[in-house]
Structure 1
Amino acid sequence: MAYLRGFTLTYPLLWLTTSTITRCAADTGNSPGLPMVINTWGGPFTAATDAAYLALLESETSALDAVEIGCSTCEANQCDGSVGYGGSPDENCETTLDAMIMDGTTMKSGAVAALRRIKDAISVARAVLEHTTHTLLAGDFATDFAIANGFVAQNLTTEASAASCAQWKAGGCQPNYRINVTPDPAQSCGPYAPTSLNSSSSSAAAAYQSRGSPEGHDTISMIALHSSGVMAAGTSTNGAGRKVPGRVGDGPITGSGSYVDGDVGGCGATGDGDIMMRFLPCYQAVENLRLGMSPQSAAEDAVRRMLRKYPDVQSGIVVVDNEGAHGGAGSGWTFTYAYRGGGMGETVVVSVPPIAG
């Protein structure tokens, strides 16, 4: 199956009748069997779990297909307002999208960042994977590529996202991501000019820190295990709300938002992408599996590496080995992940308490 531009899902996008079971993190570790799908977050994100899993029951569906179908479901459903169109407007009130998809056999990935005016971010990322030798395309050039490959340009702003941005501007553009600028970003919408910094000063490190925590967001990161054992992973998000235009988060960064090596396993991540991408936590978690760690220990180690430098970081990591054993870890919030595999009749949501910084 090629990338699913213009496809019609066999499975409904809104799984209002799908039941889920919630478990605590202590219940994790045992594989439900293959095929299997596992992804960040429960709640509305379980529609993606179900869509991808049910697709894998069809013999012609590959692991890449399942990841694309699952992430596309969340994009269409605007999962939690943080995936797909009409969410997380930037300072200019525009929604842009980040996505990445990775094949666990070839280790090739395709990604788009700051994608404008195209709804189907995960599908464009797959087109990058399948129709170029590149890994990442960004901004208007990614949009040009998408249109050349048959995707349709359209406005990603909705009435709700426009109203949200207008309210933010009326409130003095608070909170925002600006630091070390004038006028004071805590009291102004700009335009801003940089203030001078002395990088050799003992106070330089403190100057790089944020002033607070602008509104959070979620991300769908998914790993699919085909019944043959072939694996794939992917991520889709509309990023941080009120971001500086052009900002790229961890979602489209291979090894940060997600990562997979079919020889050992895969990982999906969510949280404060600007911090998390500095650590490539999913690459680290998969390498932990390669060193013999369990999925649970691999996830915890990846989170603790971030906590040592950033005790307040919000993060969530889900890890699965190539046999379907799984675990998760997070910090700064209660993280959840969802999975369905083997002969399971419904999705299970696992609640993961935060590791203390």
Structure 2
Amino acid sequence: MEVGAVGAMRYVKDGIKAARLVMQHTEHTLLVGEKASSFAISMGLPGPTNLSSSESIEKWAKWKANNCQPNFWKNVLPENSCGPYRPTSYLEHTDETCLKTYAMQTTDLRFLDLGHRIHDTISMAVIDRMGHIAVGTSTNGATFKIPGRVGDGPIVGSSAYANEEVGACCATGDGDIMMRFLPCYQVVESMRLGMNPELAAKDAIGRIARKFPDFMGGIVAVNKKGEHAGACHGWTFQYSVRSPGMKDVQVFTVLP
């Protein structure tokens, strides 16, 4: 039950190391924003560092040239092609034609064929020889996100959860939807109640899919014995496993 997390942290490359430092050296669970960066640097991590790459700059430039579309805004009108944005309900004497035109330009990212390219989550569960279980998640967040957005990565029970008495879970996908269900907490608790990893993972994914049939996500569950399984929705999901008895990593493919 030891936890550390950071969110919306800029200028520090090693987010997962910063999260571990929060766990090891504070009584807090989650640090965010500028102060999370300051904490990480004060604890010895390199920074402040410019984390932009030529690839990310090029991607951003193309997105801005396309009127900042697609994006995660909804029910808004921009003052120009890339904002600032204002709620439509706050605007008076709005031309209905203008509203319809903008609605056609705004595309919900969840319906685009972007798949894994809109996020870059790495989530891992580890069981050591003593039976101790740990999980960790690191992510750059969703592409084209609204500044300040924090996804499911640092949210306990959403992208990862572990309990040494039961097992662990890792998840990735549409974090804004998945974090509403704490799917990894659900998986671990389902295994505590007797479900095997496969049923627990499918049950957690099914709970989300029944409310949001268009979401994309994947879950990996592993019990304390090392038995594992995955479940997914909206995409073909892969995860890898390595155990002492294996000569190399094995990749498992899970179909929706």
Q: What is the TM-score with the length of structure 1 in the denominator?
A: 0.64
Q: Within 2, Cα distance between the matches of 1:245 and 1:190?
A: 12
Ranges in structure 1 where 5+ consecutive residues have no aligned partner: 1-106, 198-209
Aligned pair count reads: 235
Q: Within 2, Cα distance between the matches of 1:267 and 1:188?
A: 41
- Alignment correspondent of 2:61: 166
Q: Within 1, Cα distance between the matches of 2:207 and 2:124?
A: 22
- Alignment correspondent of 1:268: 170
SS of residue matched to 1:109: coil
What code does the residue aligned with 2:145 have? K
- Alignment correspondent of 1:235: 137
Asked whether the equivalents of residues 223 and 267 of structure 1 are also in contact (C-alpha less than 8 Å), the reply is: yes
Asked whether the equivalents of residues 339 and 347 of structure 1 are also in contact (C-alpha less than 8 Å), the reply is: yes
SS of residue matched to 2:89: coil
What code does the residue aligned with 1:191 have? P
Q: CA deviation at 1:342?
A: 2.2
SS of residue matched to 1:115: coil
What code does the residue aligned with 2:22 have? V
Aligned ranges for residues 14-93 of structure 1 at < 5 Å? none
What code does the residue aligned with 1:352 have? V
Q: Within 1, Cα distance between the matches of 2:142 and 2:23?
A: 25
Q: Within 1, Cα distance between the matches of 2:109 and 2:64?
A: 18
Q: Within 1, Cα distance between the matches of 2:30 and 2:36?
A: 9
- Alignment correspondent of 1:134: 28
Is 1:332 matched with 2:234? Answer: yes
Ranges in structure 2 where 5+ consecutive residues have no aligned partner: 91-106
- Alignment correspondent of 2:86: 193
Q: Pairwise CA RMSD of aligned residues?
A: 1.6
What code does the residue aligned with 1:221 have? S
Percent of matched pairs sharing the same residue = 55
- Provide, for residues 7-30 of structure 1, a one-character-per-residue CA deviation record: whole Å limited to 9, x for no partner: xxxxxxxxxxxxxxxxxxxxxxxx
Q: What is the TM-score with the length of structure 2 in the denominator?
A: 0.89
Asked whether the equivalents of residues 218 and 271 of structure 1 are also in contact (C-alpha less than 8 Å), the reply is: no
- Alignment correspondent of 1:145: 39
Is 1:341 matched with 2:234? Answer: no
Higher relative contact order (CA 8 A, sep 6+): 1
SS of residue matched to 1:227: coil
Q: CA deviation at 1:172?
A: 1.1
- Alignment correspondent of 1:211: 108
Q: CA deviation at 1:212?
A: 4.1
1:118 aligned residue (4, 9, 12) = 12
- Alignment correspondent of 2:159: 257
